[in-house]
Amino acid sequence: MVLRAIFIKELRSYFGLFLAYAIVAVALALSGFFFYTDISFFMMWGGQNLARGLWEFFFHDLRYVLLLLVPAITARSFAEEKKLGTLDLLWTYPIPESSVLLGKFLAAATLLLVVLGLTLVYPFVLSHWHPEVHWPALIPGYVGLLLIGLVFISVGLLLSALTDSQAIAAMATLGVLVLFWSLTWNEQAMSEAWLHVLLQISLFDRFYNFARGAIDSQEITFFLFFFSFFLLLTWQALRARRWHGKGEFSSLGTFLATPSRKQWVTVAVLDLLILAGLVGLQTLSIRNNQRWDFTPTQTLSLSKQTKSLLADLDKDALLTLFFGGSPDAYQRYEDVLKRFTAENAYFQYRILHRDRNIGLARQYGATHYGTAVLEYDGQHKLLPGAGEKTITEALFQFLRQEQKTIYFVGGHGEKDPRSGQPQLGYSAAASALRNENFIIRPVFLARTERIPEDAALVVVSGPQTDFLPDELERLARYLSAGGSLLFMLDPMPAPNLTAFLAQYGIELDQDVVYDPQNRLFGGDALSPLVSLYNTGVEIVRDFQVGTIFPLSRSVEPADPLPDGVLSAQPFCRTGPGAWARFRAGADSPEGAVDFEGTKARPGPISLAVAAMLRRDQAASPNPSDQPTNGTAPPASADAEPGGRLVVYGDSDFASNSRLSLLGNRDLFLNTVQWLVQEEGFITERPRDASIQQKISTLVLTTEQTRQLFLITIIAEPGVILLLGMLVAISRRRHRR
């Protein structure tokens, strides 16, 4: 009851004074200004990732608003009552100091929640114009702001309890918080060990992952321990006023002659023990950290592939990173590396300042800041950075010693794995394959009698002309010997290829897929966004991210399947709102695509089929060898598996410009791993945010930005000020 009464009294004192409304209005004006400028720079720089761009900047800016707001609202908590003598009067009643402290703390926290809640107007306004606001990604930022705000309040209450001047309390609180803010600024004057220690107690650096979209249990416990310790100190400062020790700190002699000195010594020892206990608990929390990743693509968590590789790590792996620059760079690197160490203790790391370890850096060949060296089992590899994707690729090559060769067919206008052109090149796909320890080589079927014996897979990537019968005969012989083929075929007339694939239970239609319901924001209906997968096919097991197929054709399994085909299953389908129709007809110009008002086959439409063949009875490329009635019985379940075949109705999804879109890269690499019979490597891979193609940009009109300025900087703070004026006028009239 006492706690509740003090809490209500403090709330009334906050919301009954015009000064409190003025402080909140100023805080909101600053917040609105930061949001407006952040979104302006975001659009100017071409920013596209809202969760890892706009909101990260905004949450970092809100820390500075709290840095100014909290000292202003906590300065009067105890200082004013001490100055007026009401605090000493309060101690004459049987009221616990803890109730007074918690009542004031909860009231200040409530005011903080009100301010943070009012800033939610910004994403609401933005979502009205831009529907891609990912609300879950905002949760960590606001949780972090609340926690760091509670720490600020606890510091402010302590300093307010030590003085009877509001100005001194406010300035002292601001000074202490700025000290914690600037602990890691001068990284050149401290060693890596000291920088690491200071980062652990830096309030602002601890907020780093909250702003990016993740909640770590170790950060929550840190903030909880931090403000709990300061509240404990405040409680002891309040208790000291009952020890009759007024003026005992005027000199050392006075303190030693004061009867309360034993109590102060006892309190000091108790505080040290409590602090040691909190440090121990925080250490335990760090070792057992749990992360909740709220980013849309889980970019702040280790991927399944990384976790799988680390699970296989049975020897010491040491990564040495040579950094240079701000503590932000150090923290960004360490955040990634700590995830690796937490997953497997065999993985260890050290972060060294390159300028202070120039000899070691030269020995390793690290010529630039950010260069890393990974050592494992007597091997070492120089890495251009320390991102998850880079480290995982290096571990993959260390752990997977066997190299398999993939041949890309040429001579028909296929997309070239050596070309860096955005639409026509496959260099990004080739690089991704090399990172998974594959060897990439070309093959020209018209110049060779047979597929090379070391071929683990043959890829046909978007041919522009049909294949010759002799070329198809070589592919058929390769399949019958247990080889694997990957066809990625764009919409085009190719009767020889169509007949060839039909013999393996895969049907191609001369059509184009149109999906007006499932497409990217701002994209066209000819680039369907696929999210329906047949998870019974190993390629897409546990696949949960969408893929994009620009200008694709339908690919369907035959019914019934020809003899010699064990299975043929579609595994990528469009939504039911999709259509497939002939690309050109007798009544339309050649190449024209007109979907509206025409007869078309409704969805779902299959865009990819995976087939498994019997090794001893692979289909012949000669159509005369096929059953004339088309009703060959299906292969027996115990037939020996042989060749594997995957056909996509599009080749652009793996091109340089689109491979990094959503799940396209994983789908392509999973397909390759299934075809070479390495199902254990089918997984979700880490995404490199620095190279990942973004999906859409944030663009606001001039009128929308003007409205945003008026709402965030003028209207909302103005309403708070007006409300404060009405409250002040009402109180004045009530007094009369």
Pick the CATH number of 304-395 from 3.40.50.2300, 3.20.20.70, 3.40.30.10, 3.40.50.2020: 3.40.30.10
**For residue 118, pLDDT beyond 90:** yes
**SS3 call for 46:** coil
Helices (H), 648-715: 664-675, 702-709
pLDDT in tens, 444-460: 998 888 999 999 999 99
pLDDT value at position 229? Answer: 84
- Determine the straight-line distance between the first and last CA of the chain, rounded to whole angstroms: 31
* CA angle (106 as vertex; 101, 112 as ends), nearest 5: 130
CB 210 within 8 A of CB 187: no
**CATH number for the segment(s) 402-681:** 3.40.50.880
CB 384 within 8 A of CB 371: yes
pLDDT value at position 596? Answer: 47
147: tokens are 């926690």
**For residue 668, pLDDT beyond 50:** yes
**For residue 636, pLDDT beyond 80:** no
The residue with tokens 């780093």 is 208
pLDDT in tens, 471-508: 999 999 999 888 999 999 999 888 999 999 999 999 99
Cβ within 8 Å of residue 437, ≥6 positions away: 396, 397, 400, 402, 403, 404
246: tokens are 């007024």
**What value does the CA radius of gyration of the chain take, rounded to a whole number of Å?**
33
pLDDT value at position 403? Answer: 85
**For residue 294, pLDDT beyond 50:** yes
* Angstrom distances, CA of residue 546 to CA of 520, 664, 692: 10, 8, 15
pLDDT value at position 239? Answer: 73
Q: What is the pTM of this model?
A: 0.68
* Mean pLDDT estimate for the chain: 80
Indicate the residue type of 358.
I
Q: Dihedrals φ, ψ of 305, to 5°?
A: -65, -45
> Which range, of 248-252, 337-341, 577-581, averages the lowest pLDDT?
248-252
pLDDT value at position 691? Answer: 42
Cα(470)–Cα(461) distance, rounded to whole angstroms? 19
Within this chain, domains 304-395 and 402-681 share the same CATH topology: no
Nearest CA-CA partner of 654 in 440, 427, 484, 501 = 427
Conformation bin of residue 601: beta by default, left when phi > 0, alpha when psi is -120 to 50: beta
Cα(117)–Cα(115) distance, rounded to whole angstroms? 5
Where in the chain are the domains? Answer: 2-294+698-735, 304-395, 402-681
pLDDT value at position 186? Answer: 55
User: What is the biggest distance separating any 2 CA atoms in the chain, rounded to whole angstroms?
Assistant: 113
DSSP category for residue 434: H
SS percent in the chain: helix, strand, coil, step 5 = 50, 15, 35
Cα(433)–Cα(440) distance, rounded to whole angstroms? 8
Helices (H), 292-366: 304-311, 327-343, 358-364
Cα(567)–Cα(695) distance, rounded to whole angstroms? 36
CB 341 within 8 A of CB 288: no
